[in-house]
A and B are shown apart, each in its own frame.
Chain A
Amino acid sequence: MKITLTVNGSRRELEVDDRRLLADVLREELGLTGTKVGCSHGVCGSCTVHVDGRAVRSCIMLAVQADGRAVRTVEDLAAPDGTLHPLQQAFSEEHALQCGFCTPGFLMTALPAVEAGAPLDAGQARELVSGNICRCTGYDGIVGAVVRASAICAGAAASGAEAER
Chain B
Amino acid sequence: MKPSPVTYHAPATVAEAVGLLAEHGDDAKVLGGGQSLLPLMNLRLAAPARLVDVTRIDGLGAIERRDGAFELGAAVRQAQAEDDAALAAACPLLAAALPHIAHREIRNAGTVCGSLAHGDAAAELPAVALALDAELVVHGPRGVRTVAADGFFRSFLETALEPDELLAVVRLPVAPPGSGAAFHELARRAGDFAIAGVGAQLTMRDGTVTEARVACIGVGAAPVRARAAEQALAGGRADERTIAQAARAAAAELEPSEDLHASAAFRRHAAETLMRRALHEAAARAESNGREAS
Contacts and interface: CB of A to CB of B under 8 A. Distances in A.
Q: Do A and B bind each other?
A: yes
Contact of B1 (A41, A51, A128): A41
A109 B105 contact: yes
A55 B104 contact: yes
Interface stretch (B5-13, B64-72, B89-97): B5-13
Contacts of B157: none
Interface string B1-22: 1111111101000000000000
A21 interface: yes
A62 B38 contact: yes
Contact of A64 (B8, B42, B43, B79): B8
Interface residues of A, number: 28
Given A42-B35, A60-B35, A67 B105 contact: no
Given A40-B1, A130-B189, A54 B106 contact: no
B105 A56 contact: yes
B105 A127 contact: no
B34 interface: yes
A56 B39 contact: no
B159 interface: no
Nearest to A113: B104
Contact of B105 (A24, A40, A45, A62): A45
A130 B189 CA distance: 9
A61 B109 contact: yes
A120 B150 CA distance: 42
Interface in B171-204: 189-191
A61 B31 CA distance: 11
Give chain B's interface secondary structure class. loop
B208 interface: no
B4 A19 contact: yes
B2 to A, nearest CB: 7
A100 interface: no
B53 interface: yes
A45 B106 CA distance: 10
B42 A60 contact: yes
Contacts of A61: 34, 38, 109
Contact of B6 (A19, A55, A59): A19
Given A67-B10, A131-B102, A19 B3 contact: yes
Q: Which of B51, B103, B106 has the most CB of A within 10 A?
A: B103
A45 B55 CA distance: 23
Interface in B57-114: 79, 102-106, 108-109
A67 to B, nearest CB: 7
B38 A42 contact: yes
A127 B104 CA distance: 10
A129 to B, nearest CB: 9
A161 B6 CA distance: 50
A79 B89 CA distance: 42
A19 B5 contact: yes
Interface string A45-63: 1001001001111011110
Contacts of B5: 17-19
B71 to A, nearest CB: 23
19 contacts: A18-B5, A18-B6, A19-B2, A19-B3, A19-B5, A21-B3, A21-B38, A41-B38, A41-B42, A42-B39, A48-B105, A54-B79, A57-B106, A57-B109, A61-B109, A62-B51, A65-B34, A65-B55, A127-B190
Given A55-B104, A61-B38, A61-B109, 20 more contacts: A18-B6, A19-B2, A19-B4, A21-B42, A40-B42, A41-B1, A41-B39, A41-B43, A42-B39, A51-B108, A51-B109, A56-B108, A60-B42, A62-B8, A65-B34, A67-B10, A128-B104, A130-B103, A130-B189, A131-B191
Q: Give the 8 A-B residue pairs with the shortest CB-CB distance, closest first.
A: A131-B103, A41-B39, A60-B38, A40-B1, A18-B8, A54-B108, A19-B3, A130-B190
